[in-house]
Amino acid sequence: MKRIIALLLVLCLAVSLFACTTSTPANTGTTTTTDTTSTTTNSGSQSANAGTTDNSGKTDTTETTVAEKFVVNACIASEPETIDPSTISSVDGSTYTQHQFENLMKYQMTNDNPAGDPNMKSTEIVLGQAAGYTVSDDLTVYTFTLRDDIFWSDGVPVKAQDWVYSWQRLVDPATASDYGYFLDNIVLNAYDIYEENTKDKSELGIKALDDKTLEITLEAPCAYFLEMCAFASLVPLRQDVVEGSDNWTDPANIVVNGAYKLTEWVHDSYLKMEKNEKYYDYDNLGPDEIIWWLSDSETAIYSAYQSGEYQFIESFPSDLTETLQASGDCYINPYVGTYYLYLNCSKVTDWRVRAAMVLSVDRENIVDNVTQQNQSPATGFVASGILDSTGADFAFGVSELGAIYNTLSTMYPDADLSTYAGRCELAQQLYQAAVDDGSWDPNTTVVYNFNTSETHKAIAEACGSDWVTVLGLKISLENQEWATYTNGLGEHTFGVARLGWIADYNDPVTYLELLVTGNSYNYGLFSNEAYDAKINSAKAMLAGAERDALLYEAEELLFGEGGFPVCPIYYYTNPYCAQGLTNVAYTTMGYFFFQYAQPAA
Amino acid sequence: MVAYILKRVAGSIAILLLIMVVTFLLMNAIPGSPFLTEKSTPEQIALAEAKYGLDKPLYVQLWNYIKNYCVGDLGTSLKMQEGTPVKDIIFHQGKFALSIKLGACALVIAVLIGIPLGCIAAYYRGSWIDGLLRVLTTVGVAVPTFVLAALLLVVFSVNLNWFPTLSGSLPDAKSYVLPVISLSFYYTCYIAKLMRTSMLDAIHQDYIRTAKAKGVKTHILVLKHALRNSLIPVITYLGPVLAGIITGSFVVESTFSIPGLGKYFVQCVLSRDYPVIMATTVVLSALVIFMMLIVDITYKLVDPRITLTAKEE
């Protein structure tokens, strides 16, 4: 009897352990099979086409049968929260969207090489699904005419109404999109619909005049509107598709109008896209398949790259950057983004203390010794790479010194702000003045919050050390996990807090409007009427010298008397490793495009 | 025995209910919201919370969870796979199955290797074999899993190319090898240490001395008489081990790109995906409770002197 019970128990244990295995649906099995096949297939094609990777005989058996298939294996991020264009907010989500959907305008590859890598091309904005457009005399009404040869992947023609639905869905508060604000004060009534909730989404300034003609009415002329028309959150969507199923982005349900279509999604493993036969430029597309591997482990990603399983990665141990650059694997693309610190104006109330903090940070030391990814020390809040109307880099438009130091160099002509020593000297002078007149208590401890990350921690330590050494400021560094951290940002409980901002479009406003009074990202609670007026005026003007001047003046106000709500640290870069690929395209907003990629010669 | 099992099952349901309540209170006590991002406004957060019923009083939310769980509805993911039913994420996407497969293999390996190693070390106590095994097991317990996993990956996948760098959904035997070794190494060593101590203790008991005096052969002495009694501490340890292996597989799953549940168990807390936190906690708790029940029953089989119910006393 005892033996029987023992036997039963063992059986019970075994069944319990493997019960879930048997309950796995058939599609997982299929997926698994495909997983293997795709990996092997790629290796095979890679060795056949690219001839650059060492597969050590792994692919011998399949090479002859699948050598014709060109598969790109890339890893740019972990599992996306969503790939619904209306609710995406990450660069990887936007990249997937840019491959699956095409907007009125699109990013097209040029012959320039942004990072000196001959296999990586720059992009420019050109007509996408639109065949052309006209603009009214007052520059507020754009009328787009759509191409005749554009179809959704199920064969249904793409119509102007698809943009109307998509844009209305984006600004609809019920969608709760992170980018719901994107059309605020640009497209007619967007602000009232999304922010004020006083108008219905149907009143948005977009309407389909007929199936092929789309009219968009703006609040005021907008210098960067055409660039916005290439943005991932504004791609067309089919109402019947989006509302036709519980999960319309599932490979079984999704219908796209771009070059590639999602055919398989193994969550936390990979997204597989194949060429969309209905795409108008189908014949010229490159890869037969693009597999986006989903991983957040640098070790795993880099190992897969080393073994040839990935051809493109964006994440790898940063201490290998120099070695990989030397071997020709890694290049560093420009990236329009600023890493900066909020200095809470309600906690560090004296602007001279904030200025002293901004001046005494040794940015060169941080980029050379802490982050080590070829970033440039920031000289202003607007990221390098954002251009003014003349095409000059806004970050250096006024002087080589940059916005942080321009106003101070006028106020304190004797100070040498071109050197770190000179900046420290002025910082000490400003700090001491604030202490002397009693507006700053030197015993106050400033709390520096950062979210969990080795890099953020190292930067916080470097800044804290500079402030203690140069100013004698008391600093407390506090690490928080992301959700707690963002909660603290919104409640303005910090003294100093870090953030990075990647540009949404190439215009200084994408940065400067963040610090306007009442803006939800104005976490440091900065408020300056003159600044607000300049930004609001500039937003309603067309690109030109007058607008440029307003924006330059606005940024200088940020770093003048009463200002310094932020402490810019560095401008981002975007390192990547690629092997066996050419004709990969890149925009400085951080998107990589593989639609026209080819095996490297 | 049947009455005992029924009683335990009833108790388990009460424990699960308690776990749900505590988990719910804890996850609501920590600051943050699933909808909080660097680009979200308070209005957006409020709207999103209203959409998923997070604006309702806590007791209503808790009651909804309990009510829905009773009919097998684990809710919908708010963040990690927005809009996807949690049941699909855990079961239909194969995450639970993958973690269980991996965990079960690691457990079997740990038991099959750990127990004999412990016996050998005890049998050859004081010899070089014992010394070697002691060093090995101490190192095994001390080396963090992420170090071992990375080392195995670099040496055996990247350099020697013996195993795939991406284990994925564990499609073949090869893809199991490195993740299972990484996951089981600590437990193998720990079980070996536990077994050695326990075996040494058993060997010095009077009944062993008596058996020895009666002329029982040494290997029979160890395998038949000492082993059975030394297994009790190891069995006690096995219940929580499986849960530990599954929840602790975060690093291994991440390093070998396995889309399992371990990763979700950690990430859902960081992203405040409340329904996923609740579901993973309840599912894993149920697993631990079930394993503990099996362990308790196994005690009785291994050592009949152990009583399970008050009646038996």
Per-residue confidence band for A476, with pLDDT thresholds at 50, 70 and 90: very high
What is the pLDDT, as a whole number, of residue A268? 84
Please answer whether residues A250 and B82 qualify as being in contact, where contact means their C-beta atoms are separated by less than 8 angstroms: no
Mean pLDDT across B159-176: 86
Per-residue confidence band for A382, with pLDDT thresholds at 50, 70 and 90: very high
What is the pLDDT, as a whole number, of residue A429? 94
Closest CA to B199 of B141, B133, B123: B123
What is the pLDDT, as a whole number, of residue B303? 72
Q: What is the DSSP letter of B257?
A: T
Per-residue confidence band for A204, with pLDDT thresholds at 50, 70 and 90: very high
Q: Is A389 helix (H, G, I), strand (E, B) or coil?
A: coil
Domain residue ranges of chain B, discontinuous segments joined by +: 2-84, 95-272
The per-residue pLDDT for range A38-85, each reduced to its tens digit, is 333 333 333 333 333 333 333 333 344 445 789 999 999 888 888 999
Question: Per-residue pLDDT for A6 more than 60?
Answer: no
Cβ–Cβ of B297/A9 closer than 8 Å?
Answer: yes
Q: Using a CB–CB cutoff of 8 Å, tell me whether B244 touches chain A.
A: no
Per-residue confidence band for B38, with pLDDT thresholds at 50, 70 and 90: low
Q: Using a CB–CB cutoff of 8 Å, tell me whether A299 touches chain B.
A: yes
Per-residue confidence band for A18, with pLDDT thresholds at 50, 70 and 90: very low
Q: Which residues of A touch B298 (CB under 8 A)?
A: 9
Please answer whether residues A525 and A344 qualify as being in contact, where contact means their C-beta atoms are separated by less than 8 angstroms: yes
Per-residue confidence band for B309, with pLDDT thresholds at 50, 70 and 90: low
What is the pLDDT, as a whole number, of residue A563? 92
Question: Mind telling me how many Å the CA of A246 is from chain B's nearest CA?
Answer: 8
In whole angstroms, give the CA distance from residue B269 to residue A98. Answer: 30
Q: Using a CB–CB cutoff of 8 Å, tell me whether A280 touches chain B.
A: no
What is the pLDDT, as a whole number, of residue B39? 61
Closest CA to A405 of A435, A429, A427: A427
What is the pLDDT, as a whole number, of residue A170? 95
Interface of A with B in 34-93 (CB under 8 A): 35-36, 39, 56, 58, 79, 81-82, 87, 89
Q: Rounded to whole angstroms, what are the CA distances from A331 to A107, A309, A377, A572?
A: 21, 19, 19, 14
Backbone Cα Rg of chain A: 27
Question: Per-residue pLDDT for B86 more than 80?
Answer: yes
Please answer whether residues A359 and A426 qualify as being in contact, where contact means their C-beta atoms are separated by less than 8 angstroms: yes
Question: Mind telling me how many Å the CA of A141 is from chain B's nearest CA?
Answer: 29
Cβ–Cβ of A9/B257 closer than 8 Å?
Answer: no
Q: Is the pLDDT higher at A523 or at B41?
A: A523
- Give just the sign of the alpha carbon dihedral A214, A219, A225, A230: negative
Q: Which of B4, B38, B45 to mutate to test the interface with A (most CBs of A within 10 A)?
A: B38
ipTM of this complex: 0.77
Closest CA to A510 of A415, A394, A346: A394
Please answer whether residues A331 and A117 qualify as being in contact, where contact means their C-beta atoms are separated by less than 8 angstroms: yes
The per-residue pLDDT for range A232-262, each reduced to its tens digit, is 999 999 999 999 988 899 999 999 999 999 9
CB-CB: which of B32, B43, B263 is closest to A268?
Answer: B263
Question: Per-residue pLDDT for A357 more than 80?
Answer: yes
Q: Rounded to whole angstroms, what are the CA distances from A37 to A41, A45, B145, B244?
A: 6, 12, 30, 33
Tracing tokens 């796995």 back to the chain, one arrives at A24
Mean pLDDT across A588-594: 92
Cβ–Cβ of B270/A483 closer than 8 Å?
Answer: yes
- Most confident range (mean pLDDT) of A88-102, B24-38, B221-235, B283-297 is A88-102
Torsion angle of the four alpha carbons A80, A82, A88, A93, in this order, in degrees rounded to the nearest 10: 40
Closest CA to B277 of B58, B52, B75: B75
Q: Which residues of B touch A303 (CB under 8 A)?
A: 153-154, 157-158, 165
Tracing tokens 């160099």 back to the chain, one arrives at A409
In whole angstroms, give the CA distance from residue B297 to residue A13. Answer: 12
In whole angstroms, give the CA distance from residue B247 to residue B267. Answer: 11
What is the pLDDT, as a whole number, of residue B308? 63
Question: Per-residue pLDDT for A7 more than 50?
Answer: no
What is the pLDDT, as a whole number, of residue B229? 80
The string of DSSP codes covering A66-134 is HTT--EEEEEEES--S---TTT--SHHHHHHHHHH---SEEEEE-S--TTS-TTEE-EEEEESSEEEEE
Using H for helix, E for strand and C for coil, what is the string for A536-588?
A: HHHHCCCCCHHHHHHHHHHHHHHCCCCCCCEEEEEEEEEEEEECCEECEEECC
- Most confident range (mean pLDDT) of A182-191, A460-469, B85-94, B192-201 is A460-469
Q: Using a CB–CB cutoff of 8 Å, tell me whether B83 touches chain A.
A: yes
Using H for helix, E for strand and C for coil, what is the string for A439-488?
A: CCCCCCEEEEEEECCHHHHHHHHHHHHHHHHHHCCEEEEEEECHHHHHHH
Tracing tokens 């019947």 back to the chain, one arrives at A240
Interface of A with B in 474-533 (CB under 8 A): 481-484, 486-490, 499, 520-521
Cβ–Cβ of A21/B100 closer than 8 Å?
Answer: yes
Q: Is A260 helix (H, G, I), strand (E, B) or coil?
A: strand
Cβ–Cβ of B82/A81 closer than 8 Å?
Answer: yes
The per-residue pLDDT for range A410-464, each reduced to its tens digit, is 999 999 998 999 999 999 999 999 999 999 999 999 999 998 888 899 999 999 9
Please tell me the pTM assigned to this model: 0.80
The per-residue pLDDT for range A558-569, each reduced to its tens digit, is 999 999 999 999
H or E element at residue A421: helix A420-436
Report the CATH superfamily, name and number, of domain B95-272. Answer: MetI-like (1.10.3720.10)
What is the pLDDT, as a whole number, of residue A436? 94
Question: Per-residue pLDDT for B301 more than 80?
Answer: no
From the number of C-beta atoms within 10 Å of its C-beta (0-12, 13-18, 19+), residue A156 rates as: middle
Lowest mean pLDDT among A102-111, A335-344, A535-544: A535-544
Mean pLDDT of the residues in chain A: 86
The per-residue pLDDT for range B230-244, each reduced to its tens digit, is 888 888 888 778 777
Pairing of strands A584-586, A130-135: unpaired
Q: Is A385 left (phi over 0), alpha (psi -120 to 50) or beta?
A: left
What is the pLDDT, as a whole number, of residue A23? 34
Q: Using a CB–CB cutoff of 8 Å, tell me whether B72 touches chain A.
A: no
The per-residue pLDDT for range A272-309, each reduced to its tens digit, is 999 999 999 999 999 999 999 998 888 889 999 999 99
Mean pLDDT across B44-66: 85
Per-residue confidence band for A17, with pLDDT thresholds at 50, 70 and 90: very low
Q: Is A196 helix (H, G, I), strand (E, B) or coil?
A: helix
Q: Using a CB–CB cutoff of 8 Å, tell me whether A293 touches chain B.
A: yes
- Most confident range (mean pLDDT) of A392-401, B38-47, B104-113 is B104-113
In whole angstroms, give the CA distance from residue B150 to residue A232. Answer: 36
Q: Using a CB–CB cutoff of 8 Å, tell me whether A1 touches chain B.
A: no
Mean pLDDT across A86-103: 93
Closest CA to A260 of A282, A240, A239, A242: A282
What is the pLDDT, as a whole number, of residue A26? 31
Amino acid present at B26: L
